[in-house]
Structure 1
Amino acid sequence: MKLAFLYAGQGSQHPGMGADLYEAYPEFRAVLDGADVGFDLKTVSFTDPDGVLNQTQYTQPCMVAFAAGMTAILANKGIHPDYAAGLSLGEYSALEAAGVFTARQAVELAAFRGKAMAEAAAGVPCGMSAVLGLDRDTLRQACEEASDVGVVEIANYNCPGQLVIGGHKAAVDKAAARAKELGAKRCLPLKVSGPFHTSLLAPAGDALREKFTQITFGEMKFPVLFNCLGHEMGEGDTIPALLERQVQSSVYMEDTIRRLAELGVDMIVEIGPGKVLSGFVKKTVPTIKTCAVETCADIDALCEALKGE
């Protein structure tokens, strides 16, 4: 059976995530205790007393620490993927699983990325909106027609009938209104702190490019599918360039899921928190089995499910 790990992105976080894993698994504790990000990962992830978990610069290292800890638990149980991918931030977790980054590197890079994204978005009157029930080409048309009032681009191709646009608020609002006229079922404004995965995040890409010159990248132990491609890297691609591009260009999650199906993947394990990506898989390629793991009980359930395969 071919197995893929799919890592959740920003937006799935919640206080309490990982608390039971920290108590139960020393390898999970080692990840959270081993990174230096300028704040206590455990406090923010488990109780969030200051209400900062949803701020980008805190969310990102907490999510990657959770993912790296979960990956370590699964590895110790002999569960290894044939492929990996992640939604936006989750791509760093996929690369950590593949051996490109150590757990500490991945968490600390996520902290840097979160700060760079927050700084790039500071002072920008921005917005993002989920657009339901419209095809890609028609939504691109709506964005083009709204571009006279600012930048607006398709940021996420999540699954059939679910796209996300982002950019300057006025342009996003105009594109959403036009999308409804063109047949969109609903347009839902999202609570975000920046125009993520649009060209407005180019300053964050620049900061990452400089940061990557100080990082040693390991060799991939198995293929990772990249957000900005929707498939594996090709000849001439480099991981630093793809990660720089990722922060300021569209996330092709639907394409990634379809590619995993082409590669013969039988089961996708969503490494949470949450089950958002499992929902995307079911809407895109319903024949692929999914299993979301967030808690100790979820890990036990996955182990039982894999015994029968």
Structure 2
Amino acid sequence: MSRAFVFPGQGSQAVGMGADLAGAFQTARDVFQEVDEALKQNLSKLMREGPESEITLTENAQPALMAVSVAVVRILEKDGRKPLPALASHVAGHSLGEYSALVAAGALHLADGARLLKLRGQSMQKAVPVGEGAMAALLGIELEPAREACREAALGEVVAVANDNGGGQIVVSGHKAAVERAIEAAKPRGSKRGILLPVSAPFHCPLMQPAADAMQAALDQVTLGTPQVPLVANVLASEVTNPAEIKQRLVEQVTGLVRWRESVLYMKSAGVLALIECGAGKILSGLVKRIDKEMSGTALNTPADIEAFLKTA
């Protein structure tokens, strides 16, 4: 049975993230130290102690989530003596998790990944003044009806599908009033409930174009290698290995739809039946069964999780 390693996006952060890994493994402490040095910031202390208001800031949450994800993979490789290609046939990440996937697969240096995500978080925050944008989760609706609801609700403003998470969970993003209209427009199209999300900016919609431009300039300055296993890109829901194309897809991803449901189904079509979520939280491993009942999801975020996984790997 083939496995894929998947990496969480924003929303999985929490005070204390990575603390037990750092307590148990020098490998994790080394990863956190390298990220701290790259950012010239004591991010590991913030991850360990909070406050929550600081760790949830986009510019901190993004590199912090990557640090924990990479720590898990490095522990498997160094302490478990299992190289990534022996453990997984593909990597994929939800939004910022795509950067974690590229570092894990050896295509992007850890320090570069940390700096890129810091900039990505800052640029996304600056792209839209606070209060002007919003995101909402629509529950019980599929992709095409949600797109129809967005078209009806726009009325000259921006509102677009940001995430197709699967299992009838769609996230929309854009101008706050348009997002609120989309919640209402989605109801006759199957949405059971619409929930405004506690986010600081409207990610993955055309309002993020200034952030996409900033990432284009930053990625042009970074060396990207070929990943050890193929990356399943958010915006394609199919695999890429060419470094120039990966950069292009990372830029498109800032304003584009995270096609997570389709990405999971693509991995299944490539023979993957088990998704191993590396890092904080259990969101992606929890979504798997809702997307395809034949697939399984396992979260690795504690020393005990890693130890149990290595016994079966």
Relative to the length of structure 1, the TM-score reads 0.95
8 Å Cα contact 2:14/2:52 also seen in 1: no
Matched residue, 1:216: 223
Matched residue, 1:117: 124
Q: Does 1:22 align with 2:6?
A: no
Output the CA distance in 2 between the equivalents of 1:162 and 1:276: 12
Output the CA distance in 2 between the equivalents of 1:301 and 1:9: 24
Output the CA distance in 2 between the equivalents of 1:297 and 1:50: 25
Describe the superposition over 1:102-145 as per-residue Cα deviations: whole angstroms up to 9, x where unpaired: 12221221111111111113346111111111122211111111
Matched residue, 1:127: 134
Cα offset, 1:276, TM superposition: 0.8
8 Å Cα contact 1:2/1:264 also seen in 2: yes
SS of 1:3's partner is: strand
Question: Pairwise mapping of residues 232-243 of structure 1 onto structure 2 (< 5 A)?
Answer: 232-233=239-240, 238-243=245-250
Output the CA distance in 2 between the equivalents of 1:117 and 1:304: 41
SS of 1:247's partner is: helix
- Structure 1's consecutive aligned runs of 4 or more residues displaced over 2 angstroms after TM superposition are 121-124, 233-237
Describe the superposition over 1:241-290 as per-residue Cα deviations: whole angstroms up to 9, x where unpaired: 11110011100000010011011113211113111101211111221222
In structure 2, relative to structure 1, the CA distance for the partners of 1:133 and 1:57 (3 Å cut) is same
Matched residue, 2:259: 252
**Counterpart code for 1:245:** E
8 Å Cα contact 1:121/1:193 also seen in 2: no
Q: Which moved more, 1:272-281 or 1:240-249?
A: 272-281
Output the CA distance in 1 between the equivalents of 2:26 and 2:190: 52
Q: Does 1:84 align with 2:86?
A: no
Cα offset, 1:236, TM superposition: 11
Cα offset, 1:27, TM superposition: 1.4
Matched residue, 2:4: 4
SS of 2:172's partner is: strand
Cα offset, 1:181, TM superposition: 2.7
Matched residue, 1:137: 144
Cα offset, 1:160, TM superposition: 2.9
Output the CA distance in 2 between the equivalents of 1:277 and 1:47: 25
SS of 2:183's partner is: helix
**Counterpart code for 1:206:** D
In structure 2, relative to structure 1, the CA distance for the partners of 1:191 and 1:177 (3 Å cut) is same
SS of 1:251's partner is: coil
Matched residue, 1:282: 289
In structure 2, relative to structure 1, the CA distance for the partners of 1:139 and 1:220 (3 Å cut) is same
**Counterpart code for 1:30:** D
Query: Which residue of 72, 75, 82 corresponds with 2:77?
Result: 75
**Counterpart code for 2:89:** D
Q: Which moved more, 1:51-60 or 1:234-243?
A: 234-243
8 Å Cα contact 1:149/1:170 also seen in 2: no
Matched residue, 1:47: 49
Cα offset, 1:149, TM superposition: 4.7
Cα offset, 1:235, TM superposition: 8.1
In structure 2, relative to structure 1, the CA distance for the partners of 1:191 and 1:266 (3 Å cut) is same
8 Å Cα contact 2:69/2:279 also seen in 1: yes
In structure 2, relative to structure 1, the CA distance for the partners of 1:278 and 1:208 (3 Å cut) is same
8 Å Cα contact 2:225/2:243 also seen in 1: no
**Counterpart code for 1:231:** S
Output the CA distance in 1 between the equivalents of 2:197 and 2:269: 32
Output the CA distance in 2 between the equivalents of 1:140 and 1:14: 32
Output the CA distance in 1 between the equivalents of 2:104 and 2:62: 16
Output the CA distance in 2 between the equivalents of 1:50 and 1:187: 25
Question: Pairwise mapping of residues 143-154 of structure 1 onto structure 2 (< 5 A)?
Answer: 143-154=150-161
Output the CA distance in 1 between the equivalents of 2:52 and 2:136: 28
Query: Which residue of 150, 160, 183 corresponds with 2:190?
Result: 183
Matched residue, 2:106: 99
**Counterpart code for 2:61:** T
8 Å Cα contact 1:15/1:47 also seen in 2: yes
Output the CA distance in 2 between the equivalents of 1:288 and 1:134: 22
In structure 2, relative to structure 1, the CA distance for the partners of 1:64 and 1:135 (3 Å cut) is same
State the Cα RMSD in Å: 1.6
Output the CA distance in 2 between the equivalents of 1:114 and 1:291: 28
**Counterpart code for 2:197:** L
Report the structure, 1 or 2, having the larger helix content.
2
